[in-house]
Amino acid sequence: MRGLRRKTGSPAAGTADLPRLGWAVNRHGQDLIVSVIPSRVAGENSFRPVDVFPGADDGERQGAAASELVASLSRAAEAPGTVAIQGFAARSPDGRGLTFTLAVSLADIPYPEAGELPEGDVSECRLACGPAVRIFRLTEPGDPESNSPIAMFSTTYLAQTDYGVLALAFATPHVDGAREFAVLFESIASTCTIQPAPPAGSTAT
């Protein structure tokens, strides 16, 4: 997992020239853009967006666990408040395929209080889009709380924004690289912004 290591420093340092990945959402008649920088470095080992919902032929070739995971993502995509379900993939220096997913949602719900948070590794942090709580979880197959068919490492951020509570839910099946993925998820989450969409015909900055 060495290919995932990143230099430490300010979350915004060196990101000005890196491309953003954005999703449009309409909240109470206002058009917004939620965006992140998916990779802090350019190059062949950087993560690229991929489709998490395979075509019919690809679906037939998947194992039962993978098919069930895709089905759970499909259900999540239909949930109220969901902005996007995005997959990412990269190739490590040793040729190993690496993947993770990011589920983004925005909801008009109260920001969670300390007593309302799930048990586990929970801490406070600050993202570009607002103050947040960060929740680490490592689940095993059959975990009744996750219903995941495979072992998963996840990091969820709940950020308080001017437009509601923004949730960024990262997950990967590469539990052996949980430490490195935690650093990667943090670096991506720290770049997240939510802002009004630019007028038609203009260019976002």
Please report the domains of the chain, with CATH numbers, ordered by start residue. 17-196 (2.60.120.1690)
Amino acid at 186: E
Q: What percentage of the chain has pLDDT greater than the value 70?
A: 63
Q: Are 21 and 201 in contact (CB under 8 A)?
A: no
Amino acid at 122: V
pLDDT digits (tens, 9 = 90+) for 153-166: 999 999 999 999 99
Output the pLDDT for position 23: 93
In sequence order, the 6+-apart residues with CB closer than 8 A to the CB of 141 are 65, 148, 149, 150, 151
Q: Mind giving me the DSSP string for 50-107?
A: E-SS--HHHHHHS-HHHHHHHHHHHHHHTSTTEEEEEEEEEE-TTS-EEEEEEEEEEE
Give the single-character DSSP code of 173.
S
Task: Lowest mean pLDDT of 35-44, 79-88, 160-169, 182-191, name the range.
Answer: 35-44
pLDDT digits (tens, 9 = 90+) for 1-25: 333 433 333 444 455 567 889 999 9
In sequence order, the 6+-apart residues with CB closer than 8 A to the CB of 127 are 157, 159, 189, 190, 192
Whether the pLDDT of residue 43 is over 70: the answer is no
